[in-house]
Structure 1
Amino acid sequence: MTDAVAALAPDTKSGLPDKRQVAASFSRAASSYDAVAELQRAVGNALIERLPVGLTSARWLDLGCGTGYFSRVLANRFPAAEGVALDIAEGMLRHARPLGGASRFIAGDAECLPLCDASVDLIFSSLALQWCEDFPSVLSEAKRVLRPGGVFAFSSLCSGTLQELRDSWQTVDGFAHVNRFRPIGAYQHYCAASGLRLEQLEVEPEVLHFAELRQLTCELKALGAHNLNPGRPGGLTGRARIRALIDAYERFRTPRGLPATYQVAYGVLRKERK
C-alpha cells in the first residue's frame, strides 16, 4: 500500500446512496441476483478463507445476507451453531428464507442491529457495508453485539471501483453515473478508532471481463447495484450518448474483453477479551 493511499482522509459521509433506495433496489433484484453473482461468490469465498484459523462459533450473524448463499456456507462450516441472517432488503429475505442456512432471518440495519449485547461470536459481512453511510456506527454495533474474543470479518468496496466505467462516462458528460465508495484510508481510520483489534485490512482488485459494455450494465442492474448515487441523472440516456460511452470504454479493451475492476477491502477485527 502506498503512502498516498494510506494518508487519505476519512470520507465525509456524503455522496453515498440513500439506504431506502438501496433496500428497494436489492429487493427488486432478488430473483435475478444469484445468476450473475460471480464477483460476489469470489469475494465471499475469499473472506471465508480469511477467517482466523481454529475459529469456533456458537452463534453467527450473516450481516447483509442477500439471497443467503453465505448463510448456507456458514451453516456448513459451523454445523452446531445458531445462525442469524440479516438484511435491509425484505425482498432478499423472502428469497433466502425457503433456502435455509440460518435459524433466523431478520430485516434490519447494520447501523442499528436488532440484537442483544454480547450475543454473537462471529459477524460475517461480504459486499454489503459499502452501502452504509455511517461506517463508525457499523463498527460500534459490531463491537456491542460481539462476545469477548468474537470476530468481525467484512469485505467492502473502495473508491476506484468501476473506474473504467467512471472514466468513460467522464468523456461523455459530467454526471455521476457510477456509485461512489469510500477510500481505503477511511476504512483504516474508522477501524483504528473502533475499539476492536484490527487483525487484517487490505485491498485487492478483482477484475471481470465482458465481451461488450451492455453485458456489464445488465449485470449491474440484475444485481441491484446499478447507479444509486444521489444527484444521478434522471430519464433515458440517448442513443448518441450511449454510442459515445461505448466508444470511450473500448479504449480499455484487452484480449480478454472489456475489464471492470472492483477494489475490494477485506477486514478482520476482534473484540478483546476482558
Structure 2
Amino acid sequence: MNRSVIDTRQVRLHFSNHAEEYDRYAVVQKKVVVNLLDLLRSCGPISGPVLEVGCGTGTLSRQIYTLIPALPLMVSDIAHGMTRHAARSVPGVAAVDADAQDLPFRESGFGLVLSSSVYQWMNDLPRAFAEGARVLAPGGRFAFALFGEGTLYELRESHRLALEETGGGRPSHAQDFPSSEEVRSALVAAGFEGVLVRSVYEVERHPGVEILLRHLKRIGAQNAAGRRPPGLGSRRVMERMIQIYRERYGGEENIPATYEVIYGIGRKPA
C-alpha cells in the first residue's frame, strides 16, 4: 500500500503543543497502555534497562515504575513538550528527545524496548523497528501498540465522500494507518523472532463529530499527511463531511469513533 507521507515537523509541533492537556483527552490511549502491559506480563518477567520510544506524557513508564521501581528507565519522544512532561512525572527517569527512526543510543543497551500509540506516525516502519532491534541486547524484548488501518475509518470515509461531492475532485489526504500484515512484515524484516501480532478494536462515542475533532486536536493527533490541505478542507467540505458521518454512522446526539489497535511483540535472537 502506498501510504501518505507523514510530515514529521507537524507531528513534533502538534504533540509538543498539547502535552499539558493530553492526559485529559487520551481515553483510548490509556486503555491501550493497560492492555500492552497485560500482554507484556503474559510473556514472562520484565527485565531492563527499559527504553520507552515515544513516551508522550509518561503514562506507560509510570506503570512500569510502579510495577518494578528498581528498573532503570529511559524515555524518549520526538516532541520536546512530551519529553519534558514525562521527565517531570516519572521518578528517576532519564529523558531525551529522539526520533524513533534514528535512536541516539548505542547498540545492545536495553533489555526491553516499549512503545504505545506511536509507530503509526512513522514513514518507514521497518526502519523504526530495526532501530528498536539495534538498541536491544540479545534476547531482549520489543513490545508495542500502534493504531492500524481500521482507525477512524468513519471519519476518513466521510471526508473522502464529502470531497467527491463538494471538493472539486480533489483527493482526500487524510492520514493512512498500517495494516497488521505490514506490521508483521516489518517485525520479521527487523530480525525479531517469536513474533506475535494481534488486532483489537476499540470504539469511543462522542456527542458529535465536532467534539471528536476537538478531542483529536487536544491530544495532538491531527492530520500530519505531508500533502494535506489546511485542516480538512473548506467549510463546505467540513459541513458535508459532518452530515455524512451522522447519516452513515450515528445520529444527532451520538457518533462512534473506531480505533484498530495492533499489539506486537518480538524477541531479539540471543
CA RMSD of aligned residues (A): 2.0
Say whether 1:96 aligns with 2:86: yes
Question: 1:162, 1:178 within 8 Å by CA — same for their partners in 2?
Answer: no
- Deviation by residue 1:184-239 (Cα, 9 ceiling, x = unmatched): 22112122222111331011111111111111000110011111112111278554
1:51-72 deviations in Å (ceiling 9; x for gaps): 0443231310111000111111
Percent identity of equivalent pairs = 35
Query: Partner of 2:167 in structure 1?
Result: none
Q: Does 1:34 align with 2:23?
A: yes
SS at match of 2:162: coil
Cα pair 1:17 1:228 within 8 Å, conserved = yes
Please tell me whether residue 15 in structure 1 is matched to residue 4 in structure 2: yes
Distance change in 2, residues 1:203/1:254 (3 Å): farther
Counterpart CA distance in 1 for 2:107 and 2:115 is: 18
Do 2:208 and 2:253's aligned partners in 1 also have CA atoms closer than 8 Å? no
Choose the corresponding residue for 1:46, options 35, 41, 45: 35
**Paired letter, 2:38:** E
Post-superposition CA distance 1:128-177 (Å, at most 9, x none): 01111111112211111111221100111111211101111122114435
DSSP-derived class of the 1:17 partner: coil
Cα distance in 2 for residues equivalent to 1:68 and 1:241: 37
Q: Do the aligned residues in 1 keep the contact of 2:50 with 2:71 (CA within 8 Å)?
A: yes
Question: Could you state the TM-score of these two structures normalised by the residue count of structure 2?
Answer: 0.90
How many residues of Structure 1 are paired with residues of Structure 2 in the alignment? 262
Q: Report the AA paired with residue 89 of structure 2.
A: L
Moved more, 248-257 or 120-129: 248-257
Question: Partner of 2:65 in structure 1?
Answer: 75
> Partner of 1:200 in structure 2?
196
Say if 1:219 and 1:177 are closer, same or farther in 2 by CA, change over 3 A: farther
Q: Which residue does 1:8 correspond to in 2?
A: none
- Summarize deviations over 1:92-127 as a string: whole Å, max 9, x none: 112222212452011111111111211111111001
Aligned to 2:236: 240
Larger displacement relative to structure 2 (28-37 or 90-99): 90-99
TM-score by length of 1: 0.89
Q: Which residue of 2 aligns with 1:249?
A: 245
Specify every segment of 5 or more residues in structure 1 that has no aligned partner in the other structure, as ranges. 1-10
Counterpart-to-counterpart distance in 1, 2:105 and 2:199? 30
Instruction: Look up the match of 1:85.
Output: 75
Task: Determine if the alignment matches structure 1 residue 24 to structure 2 residue 24.
Answer: no
Q: Would the alpha carbon gap of residues 232 and 255 (structure 1) be closer, same or farther in structure 2, given more than 3 Å must change?
A: closer
1:223 paired to 2:223? no
Judge which range, 50-59 or 235-244, deviates more: 235-244
Question: What is the rounded CA distance, in whole Å, between the counterparts of 1:134 and 1:50 in structure 2?
Answer: 25
* Amino acid of the structure 1 residue aligned with 2:61: S
Q: How far did 1:255 drift?
A: 10
CA gap of 1:249–1:120, structure 2 versus 1, over 3 A, is same
2:166 matched residue in structure 1: none
What are the residue-to-residue correspondences of 1:151-230 with 2, within 5 Å? 151-173=141-163, 174-176=170-172, 178-230=174-226
